[in-house]
Structures are given as structure tokens and as C-alpha cells.
Chains A and B, each alone.
Chain A
Amino acid sequence: MEHIILFAGPMGAGKTTAIQSLSDIPVISTEAANTDRATADKATTTVALDYGEIHVSDEERIRMYGIPGQRRFDFMWRILRDRAEGMVLLIHNDGPDPVDAMREFMIEFADLCERGGVAVGITRMDVAPGPILTHYTDVLERDRPDLMVPVMPVDPRDRGNMEMLMMCLIANIEMRAAYSAVPA
């Protein structure tokens, strides 16, 4: 049995690091020189995708795909999102217009959010002034009152943080499937 979870977000949000924190195998990363240093000041960025696995048991795996942060690789999103059950969306709080970036990804992956689920991790909240948590949650409440999206600050290097975000995502997916017929 396998499950597919996408890790999405802008370049520099920490997708590769988050998958590395959770994966039971060495993460397969396809990185290349970042030619867009204005958007994110990092030497490399994910060109095709990152791939890691969580071995739930001998027969069951969670396949984690980190998808490109640059819009010119949009075609990769479309292929993977049709197969995915959920998405971890990472947004770095010190990036350009981070709340708007979250909205863009929520719109881009609306079908996955409705069909499965999404959990949002806000990274780099402690490094510089930026939006506070309620700026994100207020936008989600306004834009998608039908979705109950876990949003929390995370450090993608911290396995405990990432495990909690993943468990919230999976709990939400399972409960949504179980109770979706109950009027709210």
C-alpha cells in the first residue's frame, strides 16, 4: 500500500529539508544552480523534485514528493497532484508576500485540498518580522471556510515539528473522509 503526500511551497520555504527530516531513505534531490537569487538567496534550488519515503510497515509507504518552487516547473505539479492524497504546504514568513503565496498555492491545488487535505507550515517565523499566524488563518477562514486547515509555525529541520504537521494532515484527511456527510 502506498500514499502520496506532496510538499509544496515557494522556493526557499524548506521543502527539501522537511522531507529530509522525515524520510527513512536518503532523499533523492534534483537540485541545480539557482539562477533566481532575487527571489531566494540560496545557491541551489529544486529543479525537478525531491523524493523521500516513510516506511510505515513492510507493506506500506508514504511517498513524499517535494515539488518545484519555481512556477516554470508548473507541469510537475499537475502530474503529481492527481495522484496525491494530501499536501504539506510550507511558506517562509520572511519571503515576499508570504500570505499571498499561501493563497496562490491553495488556489493552484484547490482540487487536492478538497479531495484530500492540506496542512500549512510557516517557516522562518522567528528570524524576522513578518505576518503573524492569524494573518494566514484569517485568510484561510475567509477564502475557504469549508476547509479546516492546520496552520502552525514549524522548523523544517526539526523532525518532531514535521511529524506533528504530518500527523495533523493525516488526522484531518481521515476525519474529513469519515464525517464529510455530516452537515456542519
Chain B
Amino acid sequence: MTPDSGIAVGTRPTVQAPAPELAGWAGAATAVHAIQQMPMPMTLRLHVADHGVAHIDFAYNAFEWEHPLDAFPVTPASVLVETCTAEPDAPAFELPGRTLDPLLWSIGFHAFGDEPAPWLVEGHRYHLRRWPSLSGIEIDLDQVRMIAMLGNAFATADELAAAAHTPPSDARRLVNALSVAGMLRRSTAAPALDAAPASAHSVAPSTGLFARLRERWGH
């Protein structure tokens, strides 16, 4: 399958399988998620309509793309996906490249709209594995607070939204973004996130140093 033949999620040479029915960034997000489950290192080329090719090398947590992320195309006409097996000790492009987190975040945030990514299971609670690198990401401080919550407790997207006083769709997009970036671990047994923890005063969005500094800096 070639890049101009439709969305191709698979390895080269040609994979004779029906192309997934996923449009825009959804196909790319699904491919990224699939690659993260694979034991062998992979690279990915994303042919973004009118925006060139983004080349991802997961082994080096890096990507190369001429397009700036601060003008990330939210709804491209098409994103064609090519996957390749990475050569050992041979980066796919000249390193250091660009740090991958912001690209995966952007893909995950926009891939599924306000709906959860299809691999996320309702009722499962998620916890941050590590903080994403936020440099270069269009991110607001409500999202920073939710990331910090997930860094310190397990939560479903709905519990996260309730604790952070944000719309559920915002929390779902954030969980999608973190999941595509490979930064979440899940639990089926963790207790529910307490929307009013012991130090609820510091968690409320309008109180605490975070809120005051946010106001001071005008974010």
C-alpha cells in the first residue's frame, strides 16, 4: 500500500488488509497506539495533506517535520500513515530532531474530538506514568492542573473533570492526548478520585498559589 492509496496502518512492504475506517488524525493516533504496544522499534511517516510529512522515530523519542506545531493543522483533509521497522542504531533522520511529546499530544488531543479514544475502557482509571514535555504545546493551565491530578491519583475522565471543575469533554481530550503520548497506566481496581480530597482548598481552581499565580501572570 502506498501513501497515496488511502490510510495505511501497517508495515512496509505492502500489508494486504482493509484500511481502517478512520479519518484525519484518528488513524495516526491509532497507529501510534498500536506501535507503542509492539516490542520492536518502529518509525512512522505521516503524510499530512498540504502540510508535508512528519517523520517519527519512537526509539529516539523524536520527530522531524517542517511544519511548526504552533500551527498544528487540527482538521487536515487527510493523514496517510506509513509504518516501517526501525534499523538498529540507525535513527530515521538526523538527531536530535524535535522532542516527540508535543506532536503526540497534539495528535491525541484532536484525533477523536470530544469522544474517548476507542481503546480506552469506560470505568478504567488512569494515572500518569510520567509528565509530558509541555514545551511547544498549546496548553492551558486547566490542563496542567488535570495532568498534576493524574500524576497523583487514578481517575476516569469523568472523575477528572469533576475534580478539576472542567467540562467532561475537556478531560476526555486530555486523557486521549496523554494516552496517545503513551503516558498513562491504567487500573481497574484503584479507588475513585475524590473530588473533595483532604486538602480540597488547594485543589479548588480558584484558590491556592497555582490559581493566584495564574491570575497574576494573566494565563
Binding site for B on A (CB under 8 A): 3, 54-57, 60, 62, 125-126, 129-130, 132-134, 137, 140-141, 148-154, 161, 163-164, 166-168, 170-172, 174-184
> Are A153 and B209 neighbours in the complex by a CB distance under 8 Å?
no
- Residues of chain B lying within 8 A (CB to CB) of residue A161: 135
Q: How far is the CA of A126 from the CA of B97 in the complex (A)?
A: 9
- A122 nearest CB neighbor, chain B only: B133
| Structural contact, A166 and B213, CB atoms closer than 8 A | yes
Given contacts A54-B213, A168-B134, contact A175 B193 (CB under 8 A): no
Most buried by A among B132, B139, B209: B209
Question: Contact flags (1/0) for B165-178 with A, using CB distance below 8 Å?
Answer: 00000000000000
CB nearest neighbor in A for B151? A148
Residue numbers of B with Cβ under 8 A of A are 60-62, 95-96, 99, 101, 127-135, 139, 141, 144-145, 147-149, 151-154, 190-191, 193-194, 197-200, 202-203, 208-210, 212-214, 216-217, 219
Chain A residues with CB below 8 A from B96, complex form: 125-126, 129-130, 132
> Are the CB atoms of B148 and A151 closer together than 8 Å?
no
Bound together, the chains give a CA A182 to CA B219 distance in angstroms of 30
CB-based contact B61/A133 at 8 Å: yes
The secondary structure that dominates the A interface is: mixed
Are A182 and B191 interface neighbours, CB within 8 A? Answer: yes
Is the Cβ of B214 less than 8 Å from the Cβ of A167? yes
Contacts of A177 in B (CB 8 A): 199, 202
Interface centre among A54, A153, A181 (most CB of B within 10 A): A153
Q: For residue A137, which residues in chain B have a CB less than 8 angstroms away from its CB? A: 130-131
A132 contacts B62, C-beta separation under 8 Å: yes
User: B217 — which chain A residues lie within 8 A by C-beta?
Assistant: 163
Q: Which residues of B contact A151 (CB under 8 A)?
A: 130-131, 133
Q: Of all chain A residues, which has the CB nearest B217?
A: A163
The 7 residue pairs across chains A and B that have the minimum distance between CB atoms: A148-B151, A171-B148, A175-B148, A178-B199, A150-B131, A152-B133, A179-B152
